[in-house]
Amino acid sequence: MDTTTRTQRLAEAKAWAGFRSAHFARQTGTLVVVVDADAQGLDPGDGATKWYTICDDHDQLVGHETLAMAKHHASDPLGWCEVCSGADRLY
């Protein structure tokens, strides 16, 4: 059983390479983190993806061209995290 508190998880996320923001999503209770793709070592090879929104609880992520878009997606993990939305159970 994981006894890490929400405060501890937020503190750990702040130490991630390329960290920009983190919060627990109101809809799902999951930890969502926004990071700089280069600093995090995430390179999709398209040259346009500079930022990622990550659902830490489910290891799901989505890439974005702008920080504003990454932060916008952070507020709604149901729209992109397949586990939060239940889409992973459709297959």
Q: Give 1's pLDDT tier (boundaries 50, 70, 90).
A: low
Q: What is the per-residue pLDDT for 64?
A: 96
Residue 89 has pLDDT above 80, yes or no: no
pLDDT category at 3 given cuts 50, 70, 90 is: confident
pTM: predicted TM-score of the whole model, two decimal places = 0.90
Q: What radius of gyration, in Å, describes the C-alpha atoms of the chain?
A: 13
Q: How confident is the model at residue 91 (pLDDT cuts 50, 70, 90)?
A: low
Instruction: Please report the pLDDT score of residue 85 as a whole number.
Output: 92
Q: Which residue from 81, 45, 47 is spatially nearest to 62, judged by alpha carbons?
A: 81
Q: What is the pLDDT of residues 30-80, one digit of tens each?
A: 999 999 999 999 987 888 999 999 999 999 999 999 999 999 999 999 999
